[in-house]
Chain A
């Protein structure tokens, strides 16, 4: 019986050595894909917002413009879009922006008053590619603002952490 065990052991060793006799040599190489962070936003549109009417007894009427659109791509998570204007608005004049959130990702903050300090307009954006998203502006004023000459403002949108 013991002899049988040893024969089996020898046969097993022979089996393993047969594999080697088949010449199963192995070579290898590495494939590496380095995915960089991608955070792209592009805004399209220009507009003239003119307040020129009021109902008697009321404040001047707001004007809105929803002709702006933007496109966004990010492969990161919990991103936000902020908006800022280059110079302060005149006294008693308010410019607000409402940025639509990408489909299925993020939350719009609704109309947000623009200032020279960046404000969140969309938060909680994660891994999305979407385009033709609407940006709306609303210009408001009061009679106390008086009459102002035309002014130009640059609004900068930033996609950040």
Chain B
């Protein structure tokens, strides 16, 4: 009898829990763009004898973010950002800043430079479907102390549905 009850719980109740997500709107995020910067002698502040300029800034809309799949224009969400390094120099510090509201729902916050770390941190928030939210990128800490090499990190944007 106990065995039958157990089977009942596993095969009847558990699928119900898994079915729950599909009953709720799944918010999706689409991130478009990347940033590749070559740093060479032309980036010296004033030629031989000087150091590299320490800060590099991308164009305003280097990255575009679309939010879709909200249930309606009042469906609130939040974007968190973090990074995972592949080959990175810890002297280098990446930053993000939202530079446009995009079109559609509403967006707020994130309109000043915010450092991206390995820990997920709130970037900006909004509601409803929004397309074309522009993000500008910045990197600080470059100097001749960085060994010649290619340094890469991946920035992750997580959309969190705020219930």
Contacts and interface: CB of A to CB of B under 8 A. Distances in A.
B56 to A, nearest CB: 7
A3 B49 contact: no
A38 B156 contact: no
B60 to A, nearest CB: 15
B148 A36 contact: yes
Contacts of B157: 26-28
A154 interface: no
Range class of the A interface residue count: 35 or more
A10 B2 contact: no
B152 A31 contact: yes
A35 B153 contact: no
Given A36-B40, A41-B48, A42-B47, A29 B31 contact: yes
Contacts of B151: 32-35
A68 to B, nearest CB: 14
A7 interface: yes
Contacts of B59: none
A144 interface: no
A23 B161 contact: yes
Interface in A1-28: 2-3, 6-7, 9-10, 13-14, 17-18, 20-28
B68 to A, nearest CB: 9
A32 B37 contact: yes
Interface string B67-87: 001000000010000000000
A10 B10 contact: yes
A10 B17 contact: yes
A89 interface: no
Given A26-B156, A127-B145, A129-B51, A21 B35 contact: no
Given A7-B9, A72-B48, A34 B150 contact: yes
A72 to B, nearest CB: 6
Nearest to A76: B148
Interface string A108-133: 00000000000000000001111110
9 contacts: A27-B156, A28-B31, A28-B156, A32-B151, A33-B142, A36-B38, A38-B44, A75-B147, A128-B144
Interface of A: 2-3, 6-7, 9-10, 13-14, 17-18, 20-38, 40-42, 70-77, 127-132
Interface of B: 2, 5-6, 9-10, 13-14, 17-18, 20-21, 23-41, 44, 47-52, 56, 63, 65, 69, 77, 92, 94, 137, 139, 142, 144-161, 163
